[in-house]
Chain A
Amino acid sequence: MTTASPAPAGRRRLLPFSPWHLLLAPLCLVFAVPLLWLLLSSVMSDAEINRFPPALWPSGIDLDGYRYVIGNAMFPRWFANSLIVSLTAVASNLVLGSLGGYAFARMRFAGSRLLLALMLATMAIPFQLTMIPTFLVMKRLGLIDSLGALIVPSLVTPFAVFLLRQFFLSLPRELEEAAWLDGCSRLGVLGRIVLPLSRPALSTVAVLTFLTTWNDLTWPLIAINHDTQYTLQLGLTTFQGQHHTRWSAVMAGNMITVLPVLLAFLFAQKTFIQSITSSGLKG
């Protein structure tokens, strides 16, 4: 619905466009300018940035910053690490979340209600309560300082299990029964009937898992010491600490960190926004 009523025929229009644009356009500019500045400063030369007052518009495109972070720093390595961790987390959340969600939705077994309730309750546990012992657990497992320490805790989240369960419950049972009659196993029913119908829920899980694992800084900061195992977020943060004066390189690194999420968002905007609002309204 919209609260804007059609303008009465008699009212004269002072502007060729809705007056709301006068409010919205400057406000949106405030949101856009810092990101624009990120892009601009990443292609500026250090000389332009380091004079006072600094230039607000680049005189030409200078890719020294990018050359530096790709050649001298370990950004390509960190990019690969981030990609490995995020994609593994997405894949395993989809697989394990589907299996768990399906069992909780369609199969009854002793203790299922209790287990589901327990898993849901863990969603309310704040991360800082578990971060110190999780570090100790990972240390016992010998995973600290390896990508494994980043992957294991994000293999599956209660959110993925619960969201998929809710979605599976909303599907008509009859389709599954038909496959069941044809002698399909549970796994077959899940893989051939249920999952192909669950694209919206699966994409929500994929988007939110990717977003949270790619963007996380806290846990990599705790679990990783050696710079070959850094993720992009951790690498960028450390790089900034060490190169305080090379702002164009820092901003080039920042662009590299932000770009995958930004591109994913721009291409799949609808999915992103639906994922976030739906999880918000139900969570």
Chain B
Amino acid sequence: MPRLPTPVTLPDRGEKRSARTRPRPLLGKGGAAPDTPPGRHTPRRRLRQETATAWAFVAPSVLVILGLSVVPVIWSLLLSFQADDLVTPSRWVGLDNYRALAQDPHFDQAVRNTLVYTLLYVPLSIGFGLLLALALNRRIRLVGLYRTLIFVPFVISAAAQGVLFSFILDPEFGAANAVLDKFGISPQGFLNDPGQALAALLAISLWSGTGFCVVVLLAALQDVPPSLVEAARLDGAGRLRLLRHVVLPSLGPVMVFLLLWQAITSLQVFDLVYVTTKGGPLGSTTVIVYFIWEQAFKNFTAGYGAAAAYALALALLLLAAVPRLARALRDRFAPDRTPRARARADRHLEGAAR
């Protein structure tokens, strides 16, 4: 807090912080300080006013965001220890929901389906995305058009995708079987075939989700410092070496983000499943979120659904801890893997190869 009666300025961050951490001496001394005119309370009043304004600014956001997250998270935890049908008062059942969950073959199947889906979707979407981004990252005509076409499915809702592909993959009226017929291949069941349904869902998600990876990776590729590329090229690095030792390593942080993002979205897949298969046929596409929704809003066993939701949240939390762990490990074993160090190491390698 300024001692001198200074003209009105925006309160500086530093002085405000000191005001916050040492409020008492400030308030005690404020009026008694020799160079402050007695009875002058303006800074203090302004501070109070400022606080009131700030609170008025953040109050709606805080109310909505914390009210609809913190409250439900706690409520959900409580629910998971109760039997609740969303209508009548609930009954405390302790850990029964979790115990039942551990023995429920449907939950087991939902977890397995979700894991299979995630373990295929994440690497495939990022892999295809990287290949397409590398192919698009050059100065040829029509690149803008290609990028648009690849990205467009991403902005379309999962509901619309689901309805569209229910039609295309319809065993009787669908275009897919009509095309297969032209090549003399017998009609397939696709979403109606327990053996193909999950794969069909995966294909739809790849159709719509790859564009996201392409766009993010393309932006990252364009951020690779040209000086690095130039330096490596001057040292005689070929295209593959350039890719392997300069371009790919600089994509590291973006890759971590994409891995996490794609994993989180695929562990939470719901809309597409609801629209196309409703978890069937024979439970072959029941994923965890579909299971939770079904328990809570179809079978009206909300407590059971909440327990399943908590189990999934725990899994997501563990997943979020993985990159931190990976970073810790990398720092431990390869502390100097900064881009510059990598380029230097590269140059050594290239020199030795020559």
Residues of A with Cβ closer than 8 Å to B?
1-5, 17-18, 20-21, 23-25, 27-28, 30-32, 34-35, 37-38, 41, 49-50, 52-54, 56, 96-97, 99-100, 102-104, 106-110, 112, 115, 118-119, 122, 124-137, 139, 152-153, 155-158, 161, 173, 176-177, 180-181, 183, 186-187, 211, 214-218, 221-222, 233-234, 236-237, 240, 247, 250-251, 253-254, 257-258, 261-262, 265-266, 269, 272-273, 276-277, 280-281, 283
Closest to B261 in A: A280
Judged by a CB distance under 8 angstroms, whether B212 is at the interface is yes
Interface stretch among B93-101, B307-315, B329-337? B307-315
Answer whether A277 and B72 are a contact pair too, CB < 8 Å, given A103-B54, A129-B309, A156-B64: no
How many Å from the CB of A56 to the closest CB on chain B? 6
Does A281 lie within 8 Å of B254, measured CB to CB?
yes
Bound Cα distance A134, B302 (Å): 12
Bound Cα distance A137, B289 (Å): 20
Residues from chain A with a CB closer than 8 A to the CB of B292 are: 128, 131-132
How many Å from the CB of A125 to the closest CB on chain B? 5
Judged by a CB distance under 8 angstroms, whether B126 is at the interface is no
Bound Cα distance A233, B274 (Å): 12
Answer whether A261 and B155 are a contact pair too, CB < 8 Å, given A56-B178, A100-B61: yes
Complex interface bits, B56-84 against A, C-beta within 8 A gives 1, otherwise 0: 01101110111111111101100100000
Bound Cα distance A106, B132 (Å): 42
Bound Cα distance A180, B11 (Å): 10
21 A-B pairs with CB atoms under 8 Å apart are A4-B140, A21-B142, A28-B146, A28-B149, A34-B207, A37-B168, A56-B179, A96-B60, A122-B66, A124-B320, A129-B76, A130-B72, A135-B296, A137-B67, A156-B60, A215-B157, A254-B163, A257-B157, A261-B157, A273-B215, A280-B261
Answer whether A277 and B215 are a contact pair too, CB < 8 Å, given A132-B76, A236-B159: yes
How many Å from the CB of B306 to the closest CB on chain A? 5
Does A133 lie within 8 Å of B153, measured CB to CB?
no
Does B138 lie within 8 Å of A115, measured CB to CB?
no
How many Å from the CB of B240 to the closest CB on chain A? 11
Residues from chain B with a CB closer than 8 A to the CB of A100 are: 57-58, 60-62
Bound Cα distance A41, B88 (Å): 47
How many Å from the CB of A153 to the closest CB on chain B? 5
Does A129 lie within 8 Å of B313, measured CB to CB?
yes
Answer whether A281 and B216 are a contact pair too, CB < 8 Å, given A18-B140, A222-B297: yes
Contact of A38 among B8, B150, B164 (CB under 8 A): B164
Judged by a CB distance under 8 angstroms, whether B2 is at the interface is no
Judged by a CB distance under 8 angstroms, whether B174 is at the interface is yes
Answer whether A237 and B54 are a contact pair too, CB < 8 Å, given A24-B146, A137-B68: no
- Total A-B residue pairs with C-beta atoms closer than 8 Å? 321
Answer whether A96 and B61 are a contact pair too, CB < 8 Å, given A31-B211, A173-B10, A257-B160: yes
Does B62 lie within 8 Å of A115, measured CB to CB?
yes
Judged by a CB distance under 8 angstroms, whether B92 is at the interface is no
Bound Cα distance A130, B135 (Å): 41
Does A127 lie within 8 Å of B160, measured CB to CB?
no
Does A217 lie within 8 Å of B158, measured CB to CB?
yes
Interface residues in B1-34 by Cβ distance below 8 A to A read: 7-11, 13, 16-17, 20
